Amino acid sequence: MSAEPSTGAKGPTLQAAESLDAFIERAHSALDLETTAYDIANEGRRVLGCDRLSVAICRDAQSQLVAISGVDTVSRRANSVRLLERLINAVLESDQTIAVTGSTENIPPHIAGPLRKYLAETSAHNVAVIPLRFTTSNRDGSGTTNNVGALVVEQFNDDGSLHAEQRKINTIVRHSTLALRNAAEHQQQSSLWARLGGRQFRRRLKKTLLILTTLAVIAALMFVPTDFTVEGTGELQPLNQRDVFAGADGIVSTIHTNHADQVQADDLLIELRRPQLEFEISRVLGELQTTRQRLATARTARLQTTGSTQSTSVAVQQYAVAEEELRQTIKNLEKQREILELQTHDLNVRSPLSGQVITWDLEKRLSARPVQRGQRLMTVAELDGPWILEIELPDHRTGHVIDAQKSLQPGLDVSYIIASNPEVTHHGTLESVSTATDFDETERPTVTLRVSIDRDDIKNLRPGATVMARVHCGERSIGYAWFHDLIDAVRMWFLF
């Protein structure tokens, strides 16, 4: 190869030296493999004075074209790129540097074939494929040659030569080999870290974080205190309210009130009828009248009997005995009448207190219906008076409330929300806990808690409004506060 004269304001030697220094600086400025390859292609083309300089790297024993001077990206689908890669692979296998000046004479056959195909595909006349190799020393003193890649120098004019000094070519080859080797090792180490070290580190880090998080959660559940509450459902009710019951068996005859009516104590609410009782009263009154007439007749007959004969005396005595029997009969009938009148009085259902009828649609529920003694007919409540909250607490949670009353105070704080207005939380004070266990509609054992509330805090009070309540029983660990039902169940299972 012969040197090509340079022109410019600076001397040829100084300009060439500056170009070579710029190439060396750019070639070693980056550790990214593709960036390094593009810097070598573009800066090396200016140093060598060729029309195009391409850079290939070895990947998995095959060369791959990664940079072409003056081109931003390499099209992997282009036929010229595939043909040039085949030519580079053939050259790397032969351990030779091939320079072609328009003829393929004296070129090995396994290289001449790919070279002819490439020259036929492109307009290049002069092509030089320069392998980039480095040697590593073995322990036995021998050396191993490794391929980093290759440089492809191309000229498109037909002057038959590549104008570059051998010194420049050697310098470019040496620095290109070193720069691409460093970039390839850096990329290999980064990739190895990402595939092996980084993945293992991430896995270990995830496991470590998972273990630490689990231990922290367990410690928090066991030792961090929080507000301990037990939950139950309940109803809002007026403190003063009474159920109205039927005092006797009968048929509803007349209803004197209805839902939301204001009533006073002892007001007549419902009248009942019992035909059998009416018949008994009529019979007793009839017998009583008949007996009184017989008594009057017997008295008159006795008074009209006069004389001193023995027969007259006997008759008077008989009338006297009859009168006494009739008087006893009248007395018995009077007692029967009193009893029947009392039973008649029980047919009139009256209000037990002053208040408002809160039972819905009495006419539909009771009109002309038969009822039995003790049957609940309606409820009257004093809505303007104080109100309470009655909570049905599951029996197995009652012990927490009783223990909290002993250790803290009897009047525990109770927070609750009303189902019709769950946005607002209200507060009350526990007044009493039932000493007996009852059963709800599902036959579940429950204990009733009574809570005093401030009625002014609640809008639109309705008797029987559903409430979800929490009784605050001091502080316990987070784990017990959240899972006390499960913990208690496990304890019972192990103990029994």
One-character DSSP codes across 270-312? EEEE-HHHHHHHHHHHHHHHHHHHHHHHHHHHHHH---SSHHH
Cβ atoms of 449 and 390 within 8 Å: the answer is yes
Q: Choose one of 346, 366, 399: the last residue of a domain.
A: 346
Tell whether 131 and 251 lie within a shared domain: no
- The domain containing residue 255 runs over which residues? 242-273+350-381
Tell whether 102 and 182 lie within a shared domain: yes
Tell whether 182 and 49 lie within a shared domain: yes
CATH code of 235's domain = 2.40.30.170
Cβ atoms of 8 and 35 within 8 Å: the answer is no
Paired tokens of 170: 């050697």
Paired tokens of 301: 């007959």
Tell me how crowded residue 303 is: count the other CB atoms within 10 A of its CB: 10
Q: What band does 59 get if pLDDT is binned at 50, 70 and 90?
A: confident
In a domain, 218, yes or no: no
Tell whether 317 and 436 lie within a shared domain: no
pLDDT of residue 390: 94
Tell whether 391 and 471 lie within a shared domain: yes
In a domain, 215, yes or no: no
Paired tokens of 440: 């709800």
In a domain, 247, yes or no: yes
pLDDT in tens, 429-481: 999 999 888 887 788 899 999 999 998 888 888 899 999 999 999 999 998 88
- Residue 28 pLDDT exceeds 50: yes
Catalogue the long-range contacts made by 464-467 (C-beta closer than 8 Å, 24 or more residues apart): 464/235, 464/236, 464/237, 465/235, 465/236, 465/418, 465/419, 465/420, 466/233, 466/234, 466/235, 466/418, 466/419, 466/420, 467/233, 467/234, 467/235, 467/236, 467/389, 467/391, 467/416, 467/417, 467/418, 467/419
Give the mean pLDDT of the chain: 85
Helix (H, G, I), strand (E, B), or coil: what is residue 161?
A: coil
Rg (CA), the chain: 58
Cα angle: 458, vertex 459, 462; to 5 degrees: 90
Paired tokens of 295: 């008594």
Look at the chain and report how many structural domains it folds into.
4
User: What's the rounded Cα separation, in Å, for the pair 21 and 165?
Assistant: 15
Tell whether 437 and 491 lie within a shared domain: yes
- Residue 317 pLDDT exceeds 90: no
In a domain, 323, yes or no: yes
- Residue 310 pLDDT exceeds 70: no
Tokens 């559940």 sit at which residue?
221
Paired tokens of 288: 């009583």
Tell whether 269 and 282 lie within a shared domain: no
Tell whether 437 and 323 lie within a shared domain: no
Tokens 């043909």 sit at which residue?
83
Cβ atoms of 91 and 150 within 8 Å: the answer is yes
Tell me how crowded residue 306 is: count the other CB atoms within 10 A of its CB: 8
Q: What band does 12 get if pLDDT is binned at 50, 70 and 90?
A: low
In a domain, 217, yes or no: no
Q: What is the four-CA torsion angle of 287, 293, 298, 303, rounded to 10 degrees?
A: 160
Q: Choose one of 346, 361, 395: the last residue of a domain.
A: 346
What is the separation, in whole angstroms, between the first and last Cα of the chain?
101
Tell whether 293 and 392 lie within a shared domain: no
CATH code of 371's domain = 2.40.50.100
User: What's the rounded Cα separation, in Å, for the pair 42 and 22?
Assistant: 11
pLDDT in tens, 85-122: 998 888 888 766 666 655 667 788 888 888 888 888 88
Tell whether 64 and 18 lie within a shared domain: yes
Tell whether 123 and 172 lie within a shared domain: yes
Q: Give which of 404, 385, 381 is closest to 470, Cα–Cα.
A: 404
Tell whether 280 and 339 lie within a shared domain: yes
Write phi, then psi, for 362 (nearest 5 degrees): -65, -40
User: What's the rounded Cα separation, in Å, for the pair 370 and 306?
Assistant: 60
pLDDT in tens, 407-424: 999 999 999 999 988 999
The region of weakest confidence among 10-19, 140-149, 376-385, 458-467 is 10-19
In a domain, 206, yes or no: no
What separation in angstroms does the CA of 493 have from each of 75, 481, 486? 73, 20, 10
Helix (H, G, I), strand (E, B), or coil: what is residue 32?
A: coil
Q: What band does 238 get if pLDDT is binned at 50, 70 and 90?
A: very high
Element (H, E) at 193: none
Write phi, then psi, for 479 (nearest 5 degrees): -60, -45
pLDDT of residue 169: 84
In a domain, 285, yes or no: yes
Max CA separation in the chain (angstroms): 193
CATH code of 162's domain = 3.30.450.40
pLDDT in tens, 209-231: 999 999 999 998 889 999 999 99
Cα angle: 69, vertex 73, 76; to 5 degrees: 110
- Residue 270 pLDDT exceeds 90: yes
User: What's the rounded Cα separation, in Å, for the pair 355 and 257?
Assistant: 12
- Residue 82 pLDDT exceeds 60: yes
pLDDT of residue 158: 67
Evaluate if pTM is beyond 0.75: no
User: What's the rounded Cα separation, in Å, for the pair 185 and 188?
Assistant: 5
